[in-house]
Chain A
Amino acid sequence: MAEIREVLASSPLFGELAGDELDQIVPLCREASYAAGLSVIAEGDAARDLYVVGEGKVMVEMNLSAYPGMVQDAIIENIPPGEPFGWSAVVGSRVYTMTARCLEATRVVAIDGEQLLDLFNRNPVVGFKVTGGLVEVVSHRVRSVIRTAFH
């Protein structure tokens, strides 16, 4: 897989960061590999890490309940290299709202959510840029989900 720094630099999440700001994110990261079929995160689990896909394919799925007691998994979308998932580690409930499963052998960069939030609080310029990047990523995903489903 490309170096962690390269993966981060390729992600729209970190697109606004200057080089020295990106360098502050790298120490909070680790690489992880998953075989096809394995889950990286599971819906309902405590959200500890934010992920960026390095190589491979990840799909996200969520439980849907048409009525109480009835639960069904729905495949929502595929996440390509460079794209993030698991952002509940830094915004919202701190509980994953999706399951992310590997469609093939996949490598990801995992970023420690608590340490990233600590960095944001110490350096709000980085926090503003990354959360702004997240707003763009999620907004883009909203458009993508609607376009894919109905157009």
Chain B
Amino acid sequence: MATIKDVLATSELFKGLTEEELGKVETLSRVEIYEKDTPLFVEGATAENFFVVELGRVAMDMTIHQSSDVVKHVTVETIKNGQSCGFSAVKGTPVYTLTARAVEPVRVIAIDGKRLYNVLQENPGMGYRVMSRMASAISARLRNIRTTIQFFNR
């Protein structure tokens, strides 16, 4: 079985970091398992943890209020091994924007968001690389959300 450091080393956010840098992230990390249809986190909840998917697929769901009494949940993106979710735990308003739901049994690396931000701030070379990739990942998610909304509104 892959170690936490192995998983981080191949992830979209942390690939290319040095052994020493990966070690700093590893100390903030733990493995978590989620059964099918259970949430990793829920839209509106306090954002404490950032997640890297090791195995399985995670749906990023958005709540859509069609009317005062009709609420739907729409998947804007499904992420898989190496991809991340829960960016709000690291930077910005510390409330999750979307709900992350295990589509199948999922194994993830959970990372304390505030402590990760502090490590990135203390190590700006590493911090810049990770934050740049995070901006890119959120930007891609924004585009997916825009596309979902536009199609939904037709």
Contacts and interface: CB of A to CB of B under 8 A. Distances in A.
Given A64-B150, A64-B151, A151 B93 contact: no
A43 B63 CA distance: 28
Nearest to B117: A132
Interface string A112-151: 0000000010001101100110111011111101100111
A91 B132 contact: yes
Contacts of B124: 124-125, 127-128
Given A142-B97, A146-B145, A128 B92 contact: no
B138 A142 contact: yes
A102 B145 CA distance: 23
Given A74-B150, A128-B124, A143-B97, A135 B134 contact: yes
A76 B143 CA distance: 10
B151 A131 contact: no
A69 interface: no
6 contacts: A92-B135, A124-B124, A125-B124, A132-B131, A138-B135, A141-B142
Contacts of A136: 91-92
A136 B135 CA distance: 8
Interface string A57-93: 0000010101000000010100000000001101110
A66 B151 contact: yes
B136 A132 contact: no
B121 interface: yes
Nearest to A138: B138
A97 interface: yes
B147 interface: yes
SS of A interface (majority)? helix
Interface residues of chain B: helix, strand, loop or mixed (majority): helix
What band does the interface of chain B fall in when counting residues whose beta carbon is under 8 Å from A? Answer: 35 or more
Given A64-B151, A125-B124, 4 more contacts: A66-B151, A128-B120, A131-B131, A135-B90
Interface residues of A, number: 32
Contacts of B142: 138, 141-142, 145
Contact of A140 (B65, B92, B132, B141): B92
B152 to A, nearest CB: 8
A150 B63 CA distance: 9
B17 to A, nearest CB: 13
Interface in B97-154: 97, 120-121, 124-125, 127-128, 131-136, 138-143, 145-147, 149-151, 153-154
B97 A132 contact: no
A93 to B, nearest CB: 8
- Name which of B65, B120, B131, B154 has the most chain A CB atoms within 10 A of its CB: B131
B84 interface: no
Contacts of B135: 87, 91-92, 131, 134-135, 138
B151 to A, nearest CB: 7
Interface string A22-54: 000000000000000000000000000000000
